[in-house]
Structure 1
Amino acid sequence: MATETQTEPAPPGFKQWKQDITNGAISREPSPNRGASVPDTKAIGDDRESITQWRQRNNIDPSKQVRLVKLAHMRYQHPDLAQITTFLRDFGMHVVKRTEDKIWYRGYGPDQYVYYAQKGPKKFMGGTYEVESYEDLEKASKIEGATQIEKLDDAPGGGYLVSVNDPEGFPVNFMFGQEPAETGKLPEKLLYNFEEDKPRVREFQRFQPGPAAVHKLGHYGLCVLNFDDQMKWYTQNFNLVPTDFLHVPGEGGKNKNVALFAHIDRGQGYVDHHTFFMSTNPTSHVHHCSFEVHDFDTQQLGHAWLDKKGYTSVWGVGRHILGSQLFDYWWDTTGNMVEHYADGDQINEDTPISYGPAGHESLAIWGPEVPKWFLD
């Protein structure tokens, strides 16, 4: 014999909720994620200004600047060259030249080398920019505290170098006259099949495990004590132009800029979203340097390779918001942070300068939880 079912009374608001769903006022399902390649002016939003406006407001005269072309290589000092060489090979570089106390490493891109290491106590020796002319090198040598122009007799490709310390003592290097390198073979571009667009037929995706081969040096960044002085020094002396500022609430209701992503101004020529960045910090130190790899699969395979070799992951793999790069950060064997990236934004002088709020939520659209100390 069937028993009568006892019906629980509906919770408060249930009838209205059900009616809203029926009428379409409330979606039955959450909206699916979506992504698109959005024009820079649409992606940036309303809090922006043109590069011309920014230069005028900051009294910047481009004719007085040292003209940079690109970021060419990093310079570090390591106590154990054999150990760091093993790491950098696993990271995707290869040795192009070595002496008893110096080693040069390259990728498959257009640069003679992307990383220079010399033996000694742990030390950051700065990023190295290629400049337009020997006159620009001479101009750099006249900046207060700069070294004399040095001939790079033992370095692959030769050339000339000047080093300068910024106001907080970080070295910056400028190079000219290096012989061009022969570019290595580019990796193949994968074909992707989508829902209704399937160009990859009778071709299967296959991969070989190993390091994520480095193409070129992309950017590096610093944590600084006096953000305003540092920003003025870099943007007045060189054709480094802000791409993005991040801010926090300041006195009198005004925003205070605490982070800068800057690119090399090459006019209408397209360049990486940022070549240099700075963020305000209680201590003054280098944050990381970053090297480009081919694509997402390359990056994931490189992550797996470094993990298998027992190196320490910092953060990744994920996708940044500012710059859009796929990122993957690691500690090297000396305790420096290094990054693989792929698929970064390209911009030019028509891309407006963006202003936005600082915070961990501004770092990535997806990926593992950002370490709380990442910006320390």
Structure 2
Amino acid sequence: MAEASNPVTRKINLVRIAHVYYIHKHIEKARQFLEAFGFQEVSRNGLNTYYRGVGSEPFVYCAIEGPADKFGGAAFVVESVEDLEYASKTLPNATSVQKLKDEPGGGLRVTFEDPVDGYPFHLVWGQAPIDTRPTVREKIKFNFPDEKTRPGNQFQRFNKGPAPVHKLGHFGMCVTDFAKTYNFYISRFNFRPSDLVYDDYGRDVTTFLHLDRGLELVDHHCFFFFEGPVSHVHHSSYETYDFDTQLLGHDYLREKGYENCWGVGRHVMGSQIFDYWFDPSRFIVEHYVDGDLVNSSHKTNRSKAGPGNLHVWGPDLPLEFLQ
């Protein structure tokens, strides 16, 4: 439906990021990569293959077989069914509230179009979490020069394999009009900037947004975007267990012949240790660990764009990452 003419009176409250959709021309190659990356296949329904992590989300990634490689949008959980109904009446080109009969977890969904670049954005409510028994895993202990936390005669031993995905952490877009995009998402949802980055003219061109949940601690960003000439998805990012797991996954993907995009390194904004990979469709996906947490007491940081504000250690920033 078209955007309603009724005046907007309140923000739509989001709880967390839920899942993403990607359309792949070569679906078998995509499936092989996703399993090597650390996803677990949940089900297949028609052209759709659903993947979960090791958390309670019914799925975090949907691979769709299609005629061309294309991003299908990200989904966020809304706080109430009233938020979902309100979204269907007030957001640009929003659908009606639709029942999810064939997706893992079920629930309800509204899809609207980003008002600047037209990509789909999904809102969901009522998905049933997976009732899983938590995996008992001892946290790794480290021996520091002045503090030996690991008992004697106990050794660090690891098994090679994929780095299991815990959850979807964030996704990012290149947008063609930063100011319009920023004003829309800040005014319509409980997004709040953790960081803003400005150019040589003092104009804001990049933002990292978290969800304002009051004093509740949330990820430093769940959505980011920056201005560029052509709109496209930049990457989606998935938390894994720890640094060793991340590097074991890095080596596993490398041995499988997949192409590393950038990493391993440590970001400045968000602080997370990153590792970016190209999938066979040339989409970028990231493993990360040790990200920052913020709440309503955090004051937005504003900094100038430059090569030094993206990472503090790691390989040089590749041109393909910026493109």
Give the structure 2 partner of residue 150 of structure 1: 98
Is 2:183 aligned against 1:232? yes
Deviation at 1:63, TM superposition (A): 6.7
Q: Secondary structure of 1:291's partner?
A: strand
Is 2:147 aligned against 1:200? no
Query: Which amino acid letter does the alignment assign opposite residue 197 of structure 1?
Result: E
Q: Any conservation in 2 of the 1:107–1:216 contact (CA below 8 Å)?
A: yes
1:301 to 248, 260, 266: 248
Deviations 1:52-85 (A, max 9, x none): xxxxxxxxxx971110000011111112322211
**Structure 1 unaligned blocks of 5 or more:** 1-61
Cα distance in 1 for residues equivalent to 2:213 and 2:150: 37
Q: Any conservation in 1 of the 2:171–2:236 contact (CA below 8 Å)?
A: yes
Deviation at 1:156, TM superposition (A): 1.1
Give the structure 1 partner of residue 126 of structure 2: 177
Cα distance in 1 for residues equivalent to 2:64 and 2:27: 7
What's the TM-score, normalizing by structure 1?
0.81
Give the structure 1 partner of residue 5 of structure 2: none
Specify the structure having the higher radius of gyration (Cα): 1
1:214 to 131, 145, 165: 165
Q: Any conservation in 2 of the 1:187–1:294 contact (CA below 8 Å)?
A: no
2:110 to 158, 162, 167: 162
1:109 to 40, 55, 58: 55
Query: Which amino acid letter does the alignment assign opposite residue 103 of structure 2?
Result: A
Q: Secondary structure of 1:233's partner?
A: helix
Let me know the Cα RMSD of the aligned residues: 1.5
Cα distance in 2 for residues equivalent to 1:92 and 1:63: 42
Find runs of 4+ consecutive structure 1 residues off by over 2 angstroms.
Answer: none
Query: Which amino acid letter does the alignment assign opposite residue 166 of structure 1?
Result: D
Distance 1:186-1:259 versus aligned 2 partners, 3 A rule: farther
Deviations 1:228-261 (A, max 9, x none): 00001111111111010001132xxxx1111000
Give the structure 2 partner of residue 188 of structure 1: 138
Query: Which amino acid letter does the alignment assign opposite residue 103 of structure 1?
Result: T
Q: Secondary structure of 1:64's partner?
A: coil
Q: Any conservation in 2 of the 1:108–1:186 contact (CA below 8 Å)?
A: no
Report percent identity of matched pairs.
46
What's the TM-score, normalizing by structure 2?
0.94
Deviation at 1:144, TM superposition (A): 2.1
Query: Which amino acid letter does the alignment assign opposite residue 191 of structure 1?
Result: K
Deviation at 1:338, TM superposition (A): 0.5
Cα distance in 2 for residues equivalent to 1:186 and 1:228: 46
Q: Which moved more, 1:185-194 or 1:120-129?
A: 185-194
Deviations 1:310-365 (A, max 9, x none): 11110000000000000000111111110000000001000100000112211000
Deviation at 1:186, TM superposition (A): 5.5
Where does 1:236-275 land on structure 2 (aligned, <5 Å)?
236-250=187-201, 255-275=202-222
Cα distance in 2 for residues equivalent to 1:188 and 1:73: 28
Cα distance in 1 for residues equivalent to 2:274 and 2:9: 36
Q: Secondary structure of 1:314's partner?
A: strand
Cα distance in 2 for residues equivalent to 1:321 and 1:258: 17
Give the structure 2 partner of residue 45 of structure 1: none
Is 2:25 aligned against 1:75? no
Q: Any conservation in 1 of the 2:194–2:301 contact (CA below 8 Å)?
A: yes
Query: Which amino acid letter does the alignment assign opposite residue 315 of structure 1?
Result: W
